[in-house]
Amino acid sequence: MNLPNCIEVSPDKRSGIPVLKGTRLPVAQIIAELAENQRLSKIVEDYELDEDLLVQLLQEISIHLNNSNLCRKVE
């Protein structure tokens, strides 16, 4: 699996803000709620999400950031 299988970006949904696939919930909102110590199970319940898809999203973000040049120091 990869990020395009977990995220949708469409001008018709939230003006092109990345959302969890099949929803209108912004990925940034999910991350913000986790940063505020919200339990994953509570996010799933509050937004009626597929828990497997949400876990997959978080795993894919982690893999992407680990393999990306986004966080590399520029010398």
- May I ask the CATH class of domain 3-66? mainly alpha
Cα pseudo-dihedral 64, 68, 42, 7, rounded to 10: -60
pLDDT at 8: 93
| C-alpha distances out from residue 10 to 4, 18, 31, 56, Å | 12, 8, 20, 20
Cα(68)–Cα(56) distance, integer angstroms: 18
The pLDDT tens digits for 7-63 are 999 998 899 999 999 999 999 999 999 999 999 999 999 999 999 999 999 999 888
Phi, psi of 40 (to 5 degrees): -60, -45
pLDDT at 26: 96
pLDDT at 75: 53
pLDDT at 70: 60
